[in-house]
Structure 1
Amino acid sequence: MDEIVRVQGLQKKFGKFKALHDVTFTVKAGEVVGFIGPNGAGKSTTIRTLLGIINRDAGDVKIFGKDVWKDSLEIHKRISYVPGDVALWGNLTGGEIIDLFIKLHGGGDKDKRDYLIQRFELDPKKKAKGYSKGNRQKVGLIAALSVDSDLYIFDEPTSGLDPLMEAVFQDEVEQIKHTGKAILLSSHILSEVERLADKVVIIRQGRVVETGTLNELRHLTRSIVTLVTEGDVAEMLSVNGVHDFKHQGNQATFSADNEYINEILTQAAKLGVKRFEAVPPTLEDLFMRHYQV
């Protein structure tokens, strides 16, 4: 796949505060990269750097092989961006604003615009000053998805949307991904990232602490095992890799280090396995591994 975004050793200071420390990741064509971390972790600073809104202090940051600061105008012709709080002109209607955004981008698909207005259940004739936060987000999403871009950057795009509209957004992202577009998705909704992302970048205090596919990252934390045996299940307590062991009768639940699963299975087989279920860690488990105090 072609490399659309390349961030290498990105650093940024605000006065004496160092907001970003050697941030490094890539986004390829046809790939959704989930960019996650709490408020203040450095997500928005990274995104503003990618958009050419602020200049970096150090590092190499390119989109389409072009420098994000020097070539920002050329880059913007091929990207769509939706922030977490879309600001609109209050005296214009939602439809007028969508058309303005599309025109500023250089033209879009009016049929797609009309389809998205219907899907997101937006009243395009209502003035923006009367819109809720969720409806303001819909305007930004409809405008961004109505144009043909090579890179879509979403920074908390579903903030204020109800679960039904979140599902509509997720469906649309999956469709544009299948057309070979690159997508950088920053979101607090971990289930959304887990559904959509091919790769996850976890940032903490301005540093990338983990990056990789969900399958690659899942070895870093424990699976939850439910086990029912014919023999005394309490014997599993002393097996390597078994943690947080709880049992009632011959049923036990525990967390298991993935590198010891084979040893755990071997010991369980000696007790006569009646049921064995291992649930891999979720993205939330991976995330909390880095943010638990």
Structure 2
Amino acid sequence: MSAHAAIVTTALTKHFGAVHALEDLNLEVSRGEILGYLGPNGAGKTTTIRLLLDFLRPTSGTARVLGGSGADPEVRRRIGYLPAELRIDPRYTASDLLDFYGRLRGGHDRRWVSELLERFDLDPRRRVGELSTGNRRKVGIVAATAHRPELLLLDEPSSGLDPLLQHEFQALVRELAADGATVLLSSHVLPEVELLAHRVAILREGRLVTIAGVEELRRQARQRIDLHLEQRPRPAAFAEITEVVEAQVMTGNGPTGPGAVLRLVIDGSAAAVFNAAAPLGVVRVVSHEADLDEVFLRYYHPDRDIPAAESTTSGEARS
């Protein structure tokens, strides 16, 4: 186990009777890393977090957090946790909740808490039962980060937040990670994961499908390019190229007269495409941003195989 690891699981497995919620999870998350933890509903994401916190006991395998066990109060006080479903006594105010957690953890920086309340536009005197879903979510975010945790476990954290507060939440996560905190971010908001995560781990049916850097995943995405051509091409000629998924011709203008724009979706190398396009006079090439949503969804698909080579156990946080 790496001395720099905040989370290490070894063959971590959890069965609920005949339901295999998590199977042989081998995962290592470095200190200071933001790991996006993705998968469809029922993939095992929440089960993993509950095992890390010792809310559940594994059927087999082990989980270590911050060098110890999530059952240890001294380890638990260094962890911030935001569950997907935040259940708070509706009679509590945000101030009541923060004071309660503060006493459990041995106190927190009141100036930092005041800053968080201001950033998320929260009135600490209002009772939780009077708050909207989004405002209750904000209470949870503040409570999870009030003690500047070393490890932050987030389960659908920005659900219910408006776009401005999603931006504020993302800024907060980046700040905590820059100060050395480790973040496990379980989310269905794929653009948010893409913006924040150093690496992404994808679960399907309780098994780890892949774990890779965001840029590595981006290289797996299908390329979408527009070729501005002097001569009008035959789409069928490009559709026959193995790497071409889609070919569409649009009207355009070349420097010497009417031309065309060939819009292509390519899965793999574009070399054959450029070779075929060269005789038509390539004037300009426009490349569109890779669509990571498509990559993620391809991994989610139940018909996709799970090659062992796609699963790795460790990685360094990016700068």
| TM-score tier (shorter) | over 0.9
Residue correspondence of structure 1 range 1-293 to structure 2 within 5 A: 2-68=4-70, 71-234=71-234, 235-249=237-251, 250-258=260-268, 260-292=269-301
Distance 1:167 1:241 in 2: 37
TM-score, normalising length: structure 2 = 0.85
Contact kept, 8 Å, 1:20 with 1:42, in 2: the verdict is yes
The runs of at least 4 consecutive aligned structure 1 residues that moved more than 4 Å come to none
Distance 1:283 1:26 in 2: 23
How far is the alpha carbon of 1:292 from its aligned partner?
Answer: 4.4
What is the DSSP-based 3-state SS (H/G/I as helix, E as strand, rest coil) of the residue aligned with 1:89? Answer: coil
Paired residue type of 1:231: Q
What is the DSSP-based 3-state SS (H/G/I as helix, E as strand, rest coil) of the residue aligned with 2:73? Answer: helix
What is the DSSP-based 3-state SS (H/G/I as helix, E as strand, rest coil) of the residue aligned with 1:25? Answer: strand
Percent of pairs identical after alignment? 35
Relative distance call for 1:266 and 1:2 in structure 2 (3 A) is farther
How far is the alpha carbon of 1:280 from its aligned partner?
Answer: 4.5
Partner of residue 308, structure 2: none
Q: After superposition, give the CA deviation of every residue in 1:210-253 in whole Å (9 maximum; x if it has no partner).
A: 21111112333311122111133334333341111111242121
5+ residue gaps in structure 2? Answer: 252-259, 303-319
Distance 1:283 1:23 in 2: 24
Paired residue type of 1:286: V
Distance 1:169 1:223 in 2: 31
Distance 1:109 1:233 in 2: 66
How far is the alpha carbon of 1:257 from its aligned partner?
Answer: 2.0
5+ residue gaps in structure 1? Answer: none
How far is the alpha carbon of 1:268 from its aligned partner?
Answer: 2.9
Distance 1:50 1:217 in 2: 26
Distance 1:47 1:37 in 2: 13
Q: After superposition, give the CA deviation of every residue in 1:106-153 in whole Å (9 maximum; x if it has no partner).
A: 221111111111111111111111112211111111122221221111
Distance 2:230 2:27 in 1: 49
Distance 2:232 2:27 in 1: 48
How far is the alpha carbon of 1:64 from its aligned partner?
Answer: 2.0
Relative distance call for 1:262 and 1:109 in structure 2 (3 A) is farther
What is the DSSP-based 3-state SS (H/G/I as helix, E as strand, rest coil) of the residue aligned with 1:114? Answer: helix
Contact kept, 8 Å, 2:148 with 2:176, in 1: the verdict is no
Q: Which moved more, 1:120-129 or 1:261-270?
A: 261-270
| Equivalenced residues, count | 290
Q: Which moved more, 1:248-257 or 1:196-205?
A: 248-257
Q: After superposition, give the CA deviation of every residue in 1:150-201 in whole Å (9 maximum; x if it has no partner).
A: 1111011112211111111001001111112110000111111111001001
Paired residue type of 2:197: A
